Amino acid sequence: MVLSGCGLPLNSIRELPGLSERPEPVRVEPSISNAPRPQPLPSGENAIVTAVERVGPSVVRLDTVKRVVNPLGGLFGGRPSIQQQAGQGSGFISHSDGLILTNAHVVEGANEVGVTLPDGRSFDGRVLGSDPLTDVALVKVVATDLPVAPLGDSSQLRPGETAIAIGNPLGLNNTVTSGIISAVERTNAVADGLRVPFIQTDAAVNPGNSGGPLINGRGEVIGINTAIRNAPGAGLSFAVPINLASRIAAQILEKGEASHPYIGVRLQALTPQLAREINATEAECTVPERVGVLVVEVVGGSPASRGGVETCDLIVEVAGEAVTDPSEVQVAVDRGRVGEAMTLVVERQGERQTLTVEPQELPRRG
């Protein structure tokens, strides 16, 4: 928001002492949550039961309808030219006026979104926006005084803490499963291209759980259940941290889309073996024989190019965070803001240099 109309002509402002350097207005993102802070659990009570009772009423079922065109429809007595594909997922109410957080893939391409609360009430939902890079979407229903899920702080999570998943797996409404947080900051666990430091849990999650909340033992949402990886003997579940999801949802609420910083480099995970191959065959590059993040291309005219990043640089820090994998670089860059300076520490020919880049908005496809 830009403030204007102070009541003084511009020449008068220039003459006033102390106003030559006016402070930048504080930028406040819109709030996506109005839930009160949960009170501590009473001693002796079952923590999981109480946590579920706090969050459960706000967990919704999302029924989607996507209309697709069949190019051969209607020919030779075939199927209709427009067909409907039904889908189902989960979500949770973050604001009592009808804001619902879910996954982008749950509502992707949906023409209709039905929202059903545990108490039986149903609403027509409208997708305010979605972000495929973080798999976060925001849905709105016209209602007031809805039950709200309190949001926690995912930056404080530690492996071993209680993790509880609530959702509608396989069409079974309001299913509760529990486990522990197995790991945090899993940046390369699900799919290439996602800018998410996932929370990994061993709580059972199945199709239909997507978009539902992952909560802690205090009854606070700490993540959005997003993906699973089946493995012999057990499944691995991954959730988008709620701090990231809240930031993306606030941007969608404010602008209709999410903002992602971009610096313009192509990266390669460096290993000792790859380093030896590069040093033996590439006259232009000499890289250390260790694990790291190698710059293999700098886009011309990009923020990285203007900031002095060069091919064959090894990125070791982004905005003060140590990085050892390309996905960690991507997540660290995404934590910054478009137009705000960011420091990169690179290793070049055995010497470390600190560079400054100013990220721009990620070019949008299509």
Q: What is the pLDDT of residues 152-204, one digit of tens each?
A: 999 999 999 999 999 998 888 889 999 999 999 888 777 656 779 999 999 98
Q: What is the pTM of this model?
A: 0.82
5 pLDDT more than 50: no
Does 366 score more than 60 pLDDT?
no
User: What's the gap between Cα 29 and its chain centre?
Assistant: 16
Question: Which entry of 58, 90, 210, 246 is annotated as an active-site residue?
Answer: 210
User: Do 136 and 160 fall within a single domain?
Assistant: no
CB-CB contact of 205 with 228 (8 Å): yes
Same domain, 242 and 272: no
| Residue 242 domain flag | yes
Q: Which of 135, 302, 327, 334 is catalytic?
A: 135
Catalytic residue among 97, 105, 182, 325: 105
Confidence of residue 10 (pLDDT cuts 50, 70, 90): very low
Whether residues 222 and 201 share a domain: the answer is yes
Q: Is 105 in the active site?
A: yes
Strands 112-116 and 99-102, sheet pairing: unpaired
Mean pLDDT of the chain: 85
Q: Which domain CATH number covers 173? A: 2.40.10.10
Residue 78 confidence (pLDDT): 59
Residue 240 and residue 163 in one domain: yes
Q: How many domains does the chain have?
A: 3
CB 114 within 8 A of CB 122: yes
Residue 95 annotated as catalytic = no
pLDDT confidence band for 224 (50 / 70 / 90): very high
Taken as a whole, the chain contains a residue count of 366
Task: Tell me, yes or no, whether 333 lies in a domain.
Answer: yes
Same domain, 153 and 251: yes
pLDDT at position 2, please?
34
Residue 174 lies in a domain: yes
pLDDT band at 41 (very low <50, low <70, confident <90, very high): low
Task: Determine the pLDDT at residue 22.
Answer: 46
Asked, for residue 241, whether it belongs to a domain, the answer is: yes
Domain that holds residue 330: 261-361
Pair (171, 112) in one structural domain:
no
Both 113 and 134 in a single domain? yes
135 catalytic, yes or no?
A: yes
Q: Does the structure show a pLDDT above 70 at 133?
A: yes
Q: Is 75 a member of any domain?
A: no
Pull the structure tokens for residue 208: 């239909």
**Looking at the structure, do residues 178 and 235 belong to the same domain, yes or no?**
yes
Overall average pLDDT of the 318-344 stretch: 92
